[in-house]
Amino acid sequence: MSGPRVLFETSRALPLVSMTIAAHGGATNDTPEREGLSRMTARLVRRTGAGLSTEALDERIDALGASLSVDVGHSAGTFHGAVIARSLDAFADLLVDVLGKPSLSPQELGKLRRETLAELIDARDHDRELCQRWFRKKLFLGHPYARSTTGVQKSVQSIDESDIAARYRSMLAGNNLVFAFAGDIDGDQALRVAERIASAMPKGELHRDALPEPVLRQGRHLVIVDKPERTQTQILIGCLGTHPHDPDHVALHVANTIFGGAFTARLMHEVRSKRGWSYGAYSNLPYDRHRRGFSMWTFPKASDAAACISLELAMLEKWWSDGVTRKELAWAKRYLVRSHAFAIDTASKRVAQLLDEELYALPPRYHADYVAHVQEVSVEQVNAAIRTRITPKDVLLTVVGTASEIEGAVRDGIADLSSAETVAFDSED
> pLDDT tens digits for 288-299?
999 999 999 999
**What architecture does CATH give domain 220-424?**
2-Layer Sandwich (3.30)
Instruction: Judge contact between 243 and 291, C-beta under 8 A.
Output: yes
- pLDDT for the residue 311: 98
For residue 331, give the 3-state DSSP assignment.
helix
Instruction: Assess whether pLDDT exceeds 90 at residue 333.
Output: yes
pLDDT > 90: what percent of the chain?
Answer: 96
Instruction: Judge contact between 44 and 167, C-beta under 8 A.
Output: no
Alpha-helical regions (H) of 104-263: 106-123, 127-139, 153-158, 161-171, 187-199, 249-259
Report d(CA 232, CA 134) in Å as an integer: 17
What mean pLDDT value characterizes the chain? 96
> pLDDT tens digits for 99-128?
999 999 999 999 999 999 999 999 999 999
Question: What's the topology of domain 5-199?
Answer: Cytochrome Bc1 Complex; Chain A, domain 1 (3.30.830)
Instruction: Judge contact between 36 and 27, C-beta under 8 A.
Output: yes
Q: Which residues are bridge partners to 78 per DSSP?
A: 22, 71
Backbone angles phi, psi at 406, to 5 degrees: -120, -20
What is the value of pTM for the model shown?
A: 0.94
For residue 10, give the 3-state DSSP assignment.
strand
- Range list for CATH 3.30.830.10 in the chain: 5-199, 220-424
Q: What is the DSSP letter of 146?
A: G
